[in-house]
Structure 1
Amino acid sequence: MHEGSPSPNEKPPSTRWAPGAGAARGRVRRVTAVVAVLVPASFAAWLMWQSVGGSAEAGKPAPTLMPLPTSSEQDSQSAGGRPSGHGDGEATPQPSGPERKPLAGRTVVIDPGHNPRNREHAAEINRTVDIGTSRKACDTTGTATESGYAEAEFTLDLARRVRTGLEKLGATVKLTHDGDREWGPCVDARAEAGNKAGADAAVSLHADGAPAGERGFHVILPESVDEGAADTRAIVGPSRALGRELVSAFQEFTGERPARYISGGKGVDTRGDLGGLNLSRVPKVFLECGNMRNARDADGFTDSKWRDRAARGVTEGVAEFLEGKR
Structure 2
Amino acid sequence: MRFRHAFALALVAGSLWTSAPGTLAAPNLPGAAVVSDPGVMRATGTVAANVSLTSSSRNAAPGTTIRLTGRVRNAAKGGVADARVVIQKRRIGAANWHTYRTVRADSSGRYRTSTNQKRGLEYRASVKTGKRTVRSSTRAVTATSGDLPLAGVIVALDPGHNGKNAAAQRAAAPDGRGSRKTCNTSGTGGAGISEHRFNWLVAKRTRTILRKGGATVILTRNSDTGNGPCVDVRGRFAGDHDADLLVSIHANGSVNTSVRGFFAIVTRTPLNKAQGKPSRALAKQLIGSLEDQGFAKSSTIRSATSYRNDLGTLNWSAKPVVMLELGEMRNARDVAVMRSAKGQRRYARAIAAGISAWVAAS
Given the two structures, how large is their TM-score scaled by the length of structure 1?
A: 0.64
Q: What is aligned with 1:146?
A: 191
1:257 aligns with 2:302: no
What is the RMSD computed on CA atoms of the aligned residues? 1.7
Task: Identify, as 1 or 2, the structure richer in strand.
Answer: 2
Higher helix content, 1 or 2: 1
List gaps (5 residues or longer) in structure 1: 1-96, 226-230
- Conservation of the 8 A alpha-carbon contact between 1:156 and 1:178: no
Secondary structure of residue in 2 paired with 1:178: coil
Q: In the aligned structure 2, how far is the partner of 1:175 from the partner of 1:181?
A: 14
Aligned to 1:103: 150
The one of the two structures with greater contact order (alpha-carbon pairs below 8 A, sep at least 6) is: 1
1:241 is aligned, of 274, 281, 296, to: 281
1:195 shift after superposition:
0.9
Alignment of structure 1 residues 1-326 onto 2, 5 Å: 99-117=146-164, 119=165, 121=166, 123-133=167-177, 134-147=179-192, 149-179=193-223, 182-210=226-254, 211-225=256-270, 231-253=271-293, 255-262=294-301, 264=302, 266-325=303-362
State how far apart, in whole Å, the 2-side matches of 1:141 and 1:282 are. Answer: 25
Superimposed CA distance per residue, residues 276-319 of structure 1 (whole angstroms, 9 cap, x where no aligned partner):
00010000000100000000001100111111111000000000
2:306 partner SS: strand
Deviation at 1:233, TM superposition (A): 4.0
- Computing the radius of gyration over CA atoms, which structure comes out larger, 1 or 2? 1
> Retained in 2: the 8 A contact 1:107–1:198?
yes
Output the amino acid matched with 1:138: C
CA distance in 2, matches of 1:278, 1:311: 25
Equivalent pairs: percent with the same residue?
A: 38
Paired letter, 1:251: E
Say whether the 8 Å CA contact 1:144–1:293 is kept in structure 2: yes
Q: In 1, are the aligned partners of 2:184 and 2:229 still within 8 Å (CA)?
A: yes
Native 8 Å contact 2:196 2:224 kept in 1: no
Instruction: Provide the C-alpha distance between the structure 2 equivalents of 1:202 and 1:103, rounded to a whole number of angstroms.
Output: 15
| CA deviation vs aligned residue, 1:85-144 (integer Å, no higher than 9, x gap) | xxxxxxxxxxxx794301111110000000022x2x1x1111111122211010022001
Deviation at 1:198, TM superposition (A): 1.5
Shift of residue 222, structure 1, vs aligned partner: 1.4
Alignment partner, residue 16 of structure 2: none
C-alpha separation between the residues in 2 aligned to 1:314 and 1:190?
18
2:214, 2:146 → 1: CA distance?
10
Deviation at 1:234, TM superposition (A): 3.8
Counterpart Cα distance in 2 of 1:187 and 1:261: 26
Distance 1:315 1:191 in 2: 20
Task: Report the 3-state secondary structure (helix = DSSP H, G, I; strand = E; otherwise coil) of the residue aligned with 1:206.
Answer: strand
TM-score by length of 2: 0.58
| Equivalenced residues, count | 218
Amino acid at match of 1:156: W
| Amino acid corresponding to residue 173 of structure 2 in structure 1 | V
Amino acid in the other structure paired with 1:204: S
Cα deviation, residue 181, structure 1: 5.9
Change (3 A) 1:234 1:205: closer
Q: Distance in 2 between matches of 1:271 and 1:232?
A: 15
SS at match of 2:190: coil
What amino acid is aligned across from residue 102 of structure 1 in structure 2? P
